[in-house]
């Protein structure tokens, strides 16, 4: 038994004549979300209150909160602003300050709660919606984040950061047309931003619109000739267009620029494997695992190639994959196959049974049958 061919992107069309596998993308959803520094309210001016005692206490808390923020004592600053909120429960900016600091501490659920309260008090502030979108995006609530980002852009039509955030979360939801539209809004204000051109190009690849992808990605590498991910995605676009030589050249350039990016070597390995150059494919897969040990697809590809070559190192590769993805049924299955090939029957049965159970949990009937067939074959080969 050998591992089946691997395919990265369901939407990627590859010219069959070249025999090139569907390439791996570095997607815009991998771009980091950032909270602009101006989101920390310069706010909280001294507030006049009817009650002089409360007024003095509130001003003292605001002053102390600012000092704590400047000193890097975020938790203490949050507690101080929360005290201030009890004295000024109708002040949206107090809650926005709390939300900002909660987000800074990566407590995004608390940040969402604080920003929602700020919005209840002031529903016309686009910064509050942006920050709410930012916090929800970091919780992978992409639908909620998109709604908040859209509201921010409605209130402030030139809000570049909100359009950028919207493009990212729409890409996560596979709404590539919407993502492209959002990114193009960013380009109207930042026409020479290479990362935005790259993001548009990767979205076009997902739509299988390769001429448009090539145009956007060529512009990206022109603007940022040392951006390895742009060359990686340019290579993907060339390969999907059937231009293997240009695709390989772009990937080699990407590897030169980003020698620690395992995705590049993984893609090169796939191409060499498709061309029948298994020795070179093995070199590239090993390199991918070496430079990026957490890249599960690299371990999977390496294990599959070892299995195809009937190499005992397939066992090592799939064990390493299981350390990264212990609930991966395919990893258990192929480890079982590799163990079986070495007559390690008891271990193989354990792995195949685990694979069958995991396939069943995900309602993968084909996987269940595959595991059961392998178990039955093992049982037949066991001598009484």
**pLDDT tier at 258, thresholds 50, 70, 90:** very high
Whether residue 14 is predicted with pLDDT greater than 70 in this model: the reply is no
> Could you report the per-residue pLDDT of 278-310, keeping only the tens digit for each?
999 999 999 999 999 999 999 999 999 999 999
Quote the pLDDT of residue 17.
Answer: 25
First to last CA, the chain: 24
CA–CA distance, 355 with 372 (Å, rounded to integer): 9
Quote the pLDDT of residue 136.
Answer: 97
CA–CA distance, 355 with 140 (Å, rounded to integer): 29
> Could you report the per-residue pLDDT of 135-183, keeping only the tens digit for each?
999 999 999 999 999 999 999 999 999 999 999 999 999 999 999 999 9
Give the pLDDT mean for 93-117.
95
Whether residue 2 is predicted with pLDDT greater than 60 in this model: the reply is no
CA–CA distance, 257 with 278 (Å, rounded to integer): 25
**pLDDT tier at 354, thresholds 50, 70, 90:** very high
> Could you report the per-residue pLDDT of 24-82, keeping only the tens digit for each?
455 444 444 555 555 554 444 444 444 555 677 888 888 898 889 889 999 999 999 99
Quote the pLDDT of residue 47.
Answer: 46
37 CB-contact burial (10 Å; exposed 0-12 / middle 13-18 / buried 19+): exposed
Quote the pLDDT of residue 7.
Answer: 29
Residue 246 has a CB neighbour count (10 Å cut-off) of: 16
Nearest by Cα to 260 from 223, 225, 298, 224: 298
Residue 222 has a CB neighbour count (10 Å cut-off) of: 12
pTM of the model: 0.79
Protein fold of 40-118 = 1.25.40
Give the pLDDT mean for 326-347.
96
Percent share of the chain, pLDDT over 90: 77
Residue 369 has a CB neighbour count (10 Å cut-off) of: 12
Quote the pLDDT of residue 39.
Answer: 56
Quote the pLDDT of residue 32.
Answer: 47
Give 263-329 as a DSSP string: HHHHHHHHHHHHTT-HHHHHHHHHHHHHH-TT-HHHHHHHHHHHHHTT-THHHHHHHHHHHH-TT-H
**pLDDT tier at 380, thresholds 50, 70, 90:** confident
Whether residue 118 is predicted with pLDDT greater than 60 in this model: the reply is yes
Please give the mean pLDDT across all residues of the chain.
87
Please give the biggest Cα pair distance in the chain.
Answer: 93
Give the pLDDT mean for 12-29.
38
Q: What are phi and psi of 122, to 5 degrees?
A: -145, 90
Of 64-73, 240-249, 260-269, the one with minimum mean pLDDT is 64-73
Quote the pLDDT of residue 197.
Answer: 98
Query: What are the residue boundaries of the structural domains of the chain, listed by start?
Result: 40-118
């Amino acid at each position: 038994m050998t591992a089946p061919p691997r395919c990265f992107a369901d939407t990627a069309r590859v010219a069959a004549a070249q025999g090139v596998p569907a390439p791996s993308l570095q997607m815009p959803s991998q771009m980091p979300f950032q909270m602009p520094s101006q989101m920390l309210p310069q706010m909280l001016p001294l507030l006049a209150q009817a009650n002089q005692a409360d007024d003095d206490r509130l001003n003292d808390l605001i002053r102390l909160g600012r000092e704590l923020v400047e000193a890097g004592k975020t938790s203490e600053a949050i507690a101080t602003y929360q005290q201030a909120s009890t004295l000024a429960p109708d002040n949206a900016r107090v809650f926005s300050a709390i939300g900002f600091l909660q987000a800074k501490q990566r407590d995004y659920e608390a940040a969402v709660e604080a920003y929602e309260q700020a919005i209840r008090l002031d529903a016309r502030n686009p910064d509050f919606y942006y920050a709410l979108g930012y916090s929800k995006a970091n919780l992978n609530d992409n639908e909620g984040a998109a709604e908040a980002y859209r509201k921010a852009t409605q209130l402030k039509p030139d809000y570049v950061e909100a359009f950028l955030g919207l493009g990212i979360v729409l890409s996560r939801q596979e709404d590539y047309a919407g993502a492209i539209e959002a990114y193009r809004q960013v380009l109207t204000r930042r026409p020479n931003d290479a990362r935005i051109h790259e993001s548009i190009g990767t979205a076009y690849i997902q739509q299988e619109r390769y001429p448009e992808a090539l145009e956007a990605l060529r512009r990206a590498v022109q603007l940022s000739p040392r951006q390895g991910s742009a060359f990686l995605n340019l290579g993907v676009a060339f390969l999907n267009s059937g231009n293997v030589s240009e695709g390989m050249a772009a990937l080699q350039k990407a590897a030169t620029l980003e020698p620690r990016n395992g995705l590049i070597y993984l893609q090169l390995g796939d191409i060499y494997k498709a061309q029948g150059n298994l020795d070179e494919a093995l070199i590239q897969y090993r390199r991918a695992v070496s430079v990026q040990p957490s890249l599960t697809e690299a371990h999977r590809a390496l294990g599959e190639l070892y299995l195809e070559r009937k190499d005992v190192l397939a066992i090592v590769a799939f064990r390493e994959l299981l350390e990264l993805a212990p609930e991966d049924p395919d990893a258990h299955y192929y480890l079982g196959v590799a163990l079986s090939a070495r007559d390690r029957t008891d271990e193989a049965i354990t792995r195949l049974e685990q694979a069958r159970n995991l396939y069943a949990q995900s309602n993968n009937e084909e996987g269940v049958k595959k595991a059961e067939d392998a178990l039955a074959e093992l049982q037949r080969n066991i001598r009484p």
